[in-house]
Amino acid sequence: MKLQVKLALYNTLTKLAIILFTGLLILLSIEKISYNHVELRLEENERETLRNLNSKEINSKLANEKPYTDFNILKEEFITIKPVKFEPTVTKNASFTTETRTNESVTQTYRILTHQFNFNNHTYLLEIGVSITSIEELKSIIKRFTLLTLLIALALTLVSDLIFTKFLLAPFYKIIDRKLIKVNDPMNFDYEKVKTTTQDFELLDDSISTLMKKISNLFSLEKQFIANVSHELLTPISIISSRLENILLQEELSEASENKMHASLKTLNRLKSIINSLLLISKVENNQYAKADVVMIAGVIMEIEEELEDRLEEKHLIFNNNMKYIYSIMGNRPLMHTLLFNLINNAIKYNKPKGSITVADELKEDVYILEITDTGAGMDQQQIENAFNRFEKFETEEKESYGLGLAIVKSITAFHNIRVKIDSVKEKGTSIYLIFNRERDFT
């Protein structure tokens, strides 16, 4: 889950908890305040009623020992005074209850004050009720309104938090995208600072730039070392090879000495091939080649097929050229030839006798894909991950394998902005995909 989403969810949940607490507090407070208001009103009515006990209407009813009952026109309030068993001393305080009463087919819920009192040597029970139906309806409306407000507040909070965190983290994602994801070559790193007012992001930007500078220096030293060493080694190797070849021309050499000379020459040639491969990688990575050629992919494949015809026949391999498109790019033709040669040569090298190699292509709206598939030994996941490492060799009967073929492929594809992907199954074969961006092609 993205940091932006996590921050938005955290802020939303925090605010939701606050809103819920506030909503519950409001609901409980409204109920308590409403009941307190009603009870104060009932107590006021009680005092007013006790002051009016001597009125003609009430007094006449009480004198005849009949209950006195009075409902207002809307049945929202009532007063009842009825005689009860005489108690010389009434000590009970007024109490409040909530009850449902029916009067003339009208049923309502009342908050009722109950109080016993003595009057003219009689004990009476006074009940004064006020309808709370309207209060309950108001509470229901407030609950619905509070819930609606909660949902709207939650939605607004989530949206506002997402927008704010997106704005807040925009420099962070820009730093990650520009200075990590899109960096293919530390030597061409963009050291320009990403504009931000957040000190943490400034620190991250500076730290990445410092780290990349160190990596670039190390890369530069490594490339320079490989180029210098490779160049310096080629001269003595050539001299030694020439001397050995001259010695072989002498007739007085024994057969054993001649065999040793041939073995030494073979070793020198192998060393020369490794040095040339390292030199090629170093030159490609240092951008010492021009990309001024129009390279037709299908034409290069046909050339390589002719060059490797003897090797294909030697292992009884079938070469299927299923290419359907005439696709060209602007690049370096010798490097593209080396790239495709290495891939097809590997397909031969690691293939099974009487197997097959298939070259196919696919043209999509935004990419051109070249696929080279063999029926060889295949690779497991660990081998796929290490395939492009230098001097990474796999099990093969080939004695001239140096483990630099795919390292050269990696350098050339990076130089031409070509993506490379490997799909492989052990003992079933390997497919290598070269993915060209069509926006940079020359079709």
Band (pLDDT 50/70/90 cuts) for residue 230 is low
Q: Which of the pair, 152 or 2, is modelled with greater confidence?
A: 152
CA distance 328 to 370: 12
**Is pLDDT at 296 greater than 80 in this prediction?**
yes
- Mean pLDDT over 275-294 rounds to 79
- Mean pLDDT over 66-91 rounds to 79
- Mean pLDDT over 264-287 rounds to 77
pLDDT tens digits, one per residue of 300-309: 999 999 999 9
CA distance 165 to 2: 11
pLDDT tens digits, one per residue of 132-185: 876 777 677 777 887 787 778 778 877 887 788 788 888 888 888 888 887 766
CA distance 2 to 162: 11
Contact between residue 391 and residue 402 where contact means Cβ atoms under 8 Å apart: yes
| Cβ neighbours of 424 (radius 10 Å) | 21
DSSP state of 55: S
DSSP state of 441: B
> Which residues lie below 8 Å from residue 348, measured CB to CB, with a gap of 6+?
308, 311, 312, 315, 317, 357, 374
Round the average pLDDT of the chain to a whole number and report it. Answer: 82
Instruction: Give φ, ψ of 366 to 5 degrees.
Output: -115, -10
Residue 340, pLDDT score: 94
Residue 133, pLDDT score: 75
Band (pLDDT 50/70/90 cuts) for residue 298 is very high
**Cα dist. 234→68, 88, 227, 321 in Å?**
126, 130, 11, 38
Band (pLDDT 50/70/90 cuts) for residue 439 is low
Residue 355, pLDDT score: 93
Task: Kindly provide the b/e burial profile for residues 135-164, where b requires at least 16 CB atoms within 10 angstroms of the residue's own CB.
Answer: beeeeeebeeebeeeeeebbeebbeebbee
Instruction: Give φ, ψ of 256 to 5 degrees.
Output: -65, -40
Residue 224, pLDDT score: 74
Residues pairing with 420 in the sheet? 434
Residues pairing with 70 in the sheet? 79
- Relative to beta strand 419-425, strand 429-437 is antiparallel
Band (pLDDT 50/70/90 cuts) for residue 434 is very high
Which H or E run contains 239? helix 199-248
**Is pLDDT at 400 greater than 70 in this prediction?**
no
Residue 290, pLDDT score: 85
Q: Which of the pair, 363 or 221, is modelled with greater confidence?
A: 363
- Mean pLDDT over 88-108 rounds to 79
Strand runs (DSSP E) across 178-332, as ranges? 293-296, 318-322, 328-331
**Is pLDDT at 15 greater than 90 in this prediction?**
no
Residue 225, pLDDT score: 74
Of 285, 268, 183, the closest CA to residue 226 belongs to 285
Q: Long-range contacts of range 175-182, CB-CB < 8 Å, 24 or more positions apart? A: 175/201, 175/204, 175/205, 175/208, 179/205, 179/208, 179/209, 179/212, 180/208
Residue 371, pLDDT score: 96
Instruction: Give φ, ψ of 426 to 5 degrees.
Output: -55, 130
Q: How many CA atoms lie within 13 A of 82 on its CB side?
A: 8
Which of the given ranges, 16-25, 50-59, 361-370, has the highest pLDDT on average? 361-370
CA distance 331 to 329: 6
Band (pLDDT 50/70/90 cuts) for residue 316 is very high
Band (pLDDT 50/70/90 cuts) for residue 402 is low
Instruction: Give φ, ψ of 223 to 5 degrees.
Output: -65, -40
Band (pLDDT 50/70/90 cuts) for residue 31 is confident
Residue 398, pLDDT score: 53
Residue 374, pLDDT score: 94
**Is pLDDT at 278 greater than 90 in this prediction?**
no
- Mean pLDDT over 317-333 rounds to 92
Band (pLDDT 50/70/90 cuts) for residue 441 is low
Q: Which of the pair, 79 or 287, is modelled with greater confidence?
A: 79
Taking each continuous run of H as one helix and of E as one strand, the counts in the chain are 10, 12
Task: Kindly provide the b/e burial profile for residues 66-90, where b requires at least 16 CB atoms within 10 angstroms of the residue's own CB.
Answer: eebeebeeebbbbbbbebeeeeeee
**Is pLDDT at 321 greater than 90 in this prediction?**
yes
| Global confidence as pTM | 0.51
